[in-house]
Every structure is written in structure tokens, then in C-alpha cells.
Structure 1
């Protein structure tokens, strides 16, 4: 009897402890779940407020929140990222280079998905030194075109993915994506304000292009010298001509290697050395073009946090003692709540404002509107 009473007392105490523990754990789980719900709501609000005017980045932010919190498991992870870290991670994945070249191998694109390559714009320009008598060593010319100082200048530049080669890549630690692009760029200079010369088209520049774009994996170790490697590498073949008959015909073909660095969330750098493919002497419209257009270019770009303003500097130089260079500074500003249309202004000075003007130095200022980035 004594043993039975002790056993019953022990069971009663055990049951009481079990119920108390269950109640405590239930309350703890409920509080943790409530905390998880609150954390998720805060993260979603951050996505909405930080990327209110950028739908694509807002969607990426929502996806990152979904990776951390699910409807069946709202308890936040032990090392849940802060709201600031969430914004930084979205910025890193939607930086200029990632947006422009789809360095994420999971991005799905189709042949019919046309995207901007270079900037598309329509601007009114002023040149301090119009090229009235364009000439080259192989194409002498004496005809004076009597140009005005003002042009209506526009550029159309599009690209499309021809093939996604990412799935064909062998497993490696260096390359995460590979895409083959086809691109086309056209610049036109229209003397629309030159009534005395019947408003002629001063020049067109046509430029088809084939580009292999590789997204690279950079090491995570902060001290590694490999951190200097680019985030992206483009290998391209480009033809450029103005489609004119002699003596105004100009053309050249180039192979280039372009490295892209996403320096931080705001700054990116593109460096592109090129090699001109030689032509027969009789076919060469501009045999000394490398002397003026140089052997490559570099572009430094800045985007503000809201992705409404961007500015860039483009540099070319021939790296010779008889220095021939070119510099362009441009600014894009998105005044309206639209994803595409922007106010655009540019200032360029040096050689090669257009292909026909490759050996004529001038300074040109333009203002107008741009589409894309």
C-alpha cells in the first residue's frame, strides 16, 4: 500500500511538471511565432518603403524575405538579417552590372525579350566645331557641307539573348553564368535646324555586335588578392560603319575584352581594351582611326540609392605622345514614377563624337530624354 501511494504521488507530480512544461513551451512557441510574424511584416515594410519606385528591386526583396520566413515556419532564424542587411543584399543582387547583363544564371530570358544595350535617347545638341569637310588619308574630300552647329541626335540600342550557355558550363568555382547576346546600335545626327541646307541627315553610325558575357564568382575572403578580379567578363566582336559612299565612307571592325567591376552598391566600372581587325589598304576608309579613337575605353558609373539618378564618365585615349583623347560626362534623372523614361544630358569633348568625325576634335553638349539605362 505504501509503495502504491508513493507511485501515485510520483505520477501526479510528473504529470504536473509535464503539463507545466508543455504550457511553458507552448507559450514560448507562440511568442516566437508572433515574433516571427512581426519580423516578416517589418521586412516586407522595408521592401515597400526602400524600393517604392522600383518594382523589379522590390520583387527581389520580397523573394529574399520569402526565403527566410514561410507560412508554416514563421519563427525567425537565429541569425536573421537586419533590415539594413536586407537592403544591402538586394542592392548587391540588383546592381547595375547584374541588371544589365543578368549575371544570375537562373534569370530566364527568351530570344524575343529585347533589352536596352547602350542608352536609347533623343537630344538636341550643340557642337562648337562642326566637321564641314570630313576627310581621311585614304578618302580625300573637298566638298563643304556648310553644317549648322545644332543637331537632333538620337541613338537606338537593343540587345537580345541568343543562347543561355550557363547549363553547359562544367562545374567550376570561377564562372557562374554564360550568355551569348546579339546587339545592334544606331546613332543618327540630323541637321533639322539647318533650313538653308534642306535639313540633311549629317551622319548615321550602324553597329551590330556579338557578345559572350560571363558572370564570375569572386572569393568571399576579404583579404584575397582575387577580390580584384572582375564580376563580369565580356568578349565581343563589333562592326561599325556609316553606310556612306566614298569619300564619306567610314568603317572598322574590332574584337574586345571588357571587364566589369561592381565596386559597391552605387559604383560600377567597365574597362574595355580592343583590337582593330586589319583591312586591305584599298578597302580601308580610315587607316589611322586607332590614332584618334585609341585602343579601348573605360566607363565609371554612379547610381543613387533610389535608382532615380545615374551619372557616368567615359574615357578614351590613344596612349601616345601625340595625345588624342575623348571624354564624355552624362546624367540621367527619372522625374516621373515610370520605370523607363528619364531626363538626359551629356557633354562630350575630343575625337570621335561620330564615326565620320573620328579625326575632328569638337565639344558637344546635348539635352533631352532617354529610355532605359
Structure 2
């Protein structure tokens, strides 16, 4: 068991070392338009992050940038973090390691109706009791999906992106431990300026798992998140709020990340989760966990 677990850890480290080809970091800096690059650099130096100032760009240029990107890239944050609970005694059974592996592949360029594109995604997250005897994986969740998306341009300003995907999530277990659901994910991303963006998602679910019919009361029917980067593009702050059956009692996931090198998308991360449904197996169990570790992040201006 330990050999398999350590092999997984080594595999993840190799992924960290090899992601530069897939990160699409600073996409805008690699386009052919000198004026666009200059606008990006100037706006990044703005001290007023609350100023609403979408970058001016033509739709043809945005499609050109998107179509020139590597089709295979990082989708969600790729974590390898470890930490302790804040609401339980700290011991080798309550402390854990959490990692998430998330990728996407653009199947087509923006040649579909309305200049949209087709993509597929796959995310997998695991809760690893690495400090317990034999270091078992407590829960692993698998999340494949297929979707269609496009950037939204109005009056030569990049407003954001709209995505529509069909997804499945399950823990791959059988009988009483089986957890699964299917859903349509409607996602809207909005670029307030070059350093601040917001994203809202709504789920249209079909819960087919026999033993998790009430799961959405704990996981919620969508989420709202914000992302902020500082003017030197070193610090990245993320906050995700997941409304549940009681709006005043949401699930909260937040992180503060520091970029270890200007030439990579690897970050040192302090991560905090408070709420239900962090994993599928024990979705009814309240989690209040703080963790620290590494994160591989996608491009800040990604449509996904």
C-alpha cells in the first residue's frame, strides 16, 4: 500500500515539473499584438483594483489567441496540500493530505456556431490519510465532463465567457458507499479588470445515487467565486461561496497563493475549507480544515 501511495506522490511531483507546456500562463503576453501586450502590462500596474476597466480587444483577436493556445491544459487548480482540522482533535486520523488533478482538452477551435468551441474536462480529487497506518485513500472523486463555450465581447471589450457542460461525478464505490450524480453546469465568468474576475455557476442536477438522494442539500446547487492577482502577478487570492439549503450558512473555500517563480504557474498555497460536501463519501460531515502545500494554476484569463 505504501509503495502505491508514494508512487502517486512521485507522479504528482512529476506533473508539477512538467506543466509549463500546458499552463498557458500569461496568454495575453504571447500574442502578436504589441498594443494588447502594452495594455495588459499597464493595467496590471494599476493600484485601483476596484476600477471597472475591461481590456479593449476585438473579437477576432480573442478568437485568434484562443485558437493558438495548446489544446491540452490545466483546468481547475491542481492541488497537493496537507493540513489539520480546526474543529476536531488533531491526530493521525484527522490530519490528511488533499490533492486534485484537473485537466481540459479543447476538441475544436472556435469554429462552431456563435464562434464557440467544444472541450472535454476531467478532474479527480483524493483525500489521503497519509499519516494513518498504511496511508489509505479515504475518498476519491472522479469528475469527467464535456462542454461548449465562447468568449463574450461587447463594444470591443472583453467581458468574460459563457460555458455549458454536461458532467458526472462519483466516487467509484459500490453498495452503501456509492455516491454519484449528473448535472448540467451553466457557468458565467466576468473579467472586471485585468486583476479581478468573478464566476458564477448553476447546476441543473439529476441525482441518481441511491444512497445520496439528499446530497445537494449539502453540496449546493451552484457557487460564486472571485479571483484576484496583485499588480506584480505574484499573489493570487481565491474565494468560493457555495449556497446550500440555508443561504446564510454556505460552504466556503478560500486560498492565498504565492507564485514561486515569474516563469511558472506553480504556487505555495494556504488553503481553507469550511462546510459540507468537500468529498462525496462523507458529504454530510462538516469539514473545517486548513492546509498548506503546492498549487498549479491555470491562466488567469482562461475562459473555463
TM-score (norm 2): 0.76
Q: How does 1:291-330 map to 2 (within 5 A)?
A: 291-320=217-246, 324-330=249-255
Question: How big is each residue's C-alpha offset from its partner over 1:254-289, in whole Å with a ceiling of 9 and x where there is no partner?
Answer: 11211111011111010001111253xxx5220001
Q: Is the 8 A contact 1:103 1:214 kept in 2?
A: no
Residue of structure 2 in register with 1:88 after alignment? 43
Residue of structure 1 in register with 2:30 after alignment? 59
Q: 1:103 to 1:126 in 2, by over 3 A?
A: farther
Q: Is the 8 A contact 1:324 1:351 kept in 2?
A: no
Q: Is the 8 A contact 2:55 2:193 kept in 1?
A: no
Question: 3-state SS of the aligned residue for 1:217?
Answer: strand
Residue of structure 2 in register with 1:160 after alignment? 105
Residue of structure 1 in register with 2:83 after alignment? 125
RMSD: 3.4
1:295 to partner: Cα distance: 1.1
Does residue 241 in structure 1 map to residue 166 in structure 2?
Answer: no
Residue of structure 1 in register with 2:212 after alignment? 286
Does residue 232 in structure 1 map to residue 232 in structure 2?
Answer: no
Q: Which runs of 5+ in 1 are unaligned?
A: 1-53, 69-82, 131-145, 170-174, 222-226
Distance 2:289 2:227 in 1: 20
Question: 3-state SS of the aligned residue for 2:42?
Answer: helix
1:351 to partner: Cα distance: 0.6
Question: 3-state SS of the aligned residue for 1:348?
Answer: strand
Question: How big is each residue's C-alpha offset from its partner over 1:322-371, in whole Å with a ceiling of 9 and x where there is no partner?
Answer: x6520011112112243122111111101111111211112011100112
Question: 3-state SS of the aligned residue for 2:177?
Answer: coil
Does residue 203 in structure 1 map to residue 139 in structure 2?
Answer: yes
Distance 1:248 1:343 in 2: 34
Pick the structure with greater CA Rg.
1
Question: 3-state SS of the aligned residue for 2:30?
Answer: helix
Distance 1:213 1:286 in 2: 30
**Greater helix proportion:** 1
Q: Which runs of 5+ in 2 are unaligned?
A: 1-24, 46-52, 299-304
Q: What is the aligned length?
A: 263
Q: Is the 8 A contact 2:56 2:156 kept in 1?
A: no
Does residue 115 in structure 1 map to residue 73 in structure 2?
Answer: yes
Residue of structure 1 in register with 2:122 after alignment? 184
Q: Is the 8 A contact 1:129 1:149 kept in 2?
A: no
1:92 to partner: Cα distance: 5.4
Question: 3-state SS of the aligned residue for 1:167?
Answer: coil
Distance 1:300 1:231 in 2: 13
Q: For 1:358, which of 259, 262, 283 is the aligned residue?
A: 283
Distance 2:179 2:112 in 1: 39
Q: Highest relative contact order (Cα 8 Å, sep 6+), 1 or 2?
A: 2
Q: 1:59 to 1:362 in 2, by over 3 A?
A: closer
Q: Is the 8 A contact 1:160 1:182 kept in 2?
A: yes
Q: Is the 8 A contact 1:109 1:161 kept in 2?
A: no
Question: How big is each residue's C-alpha offset from its partner over 1:204-249, in whole Å with a ceiling of 9 and x where there is no partner?
Answer: 010001121121222469xxxxx9xx62111011101111122211
TM-score (norm 1): 0.63
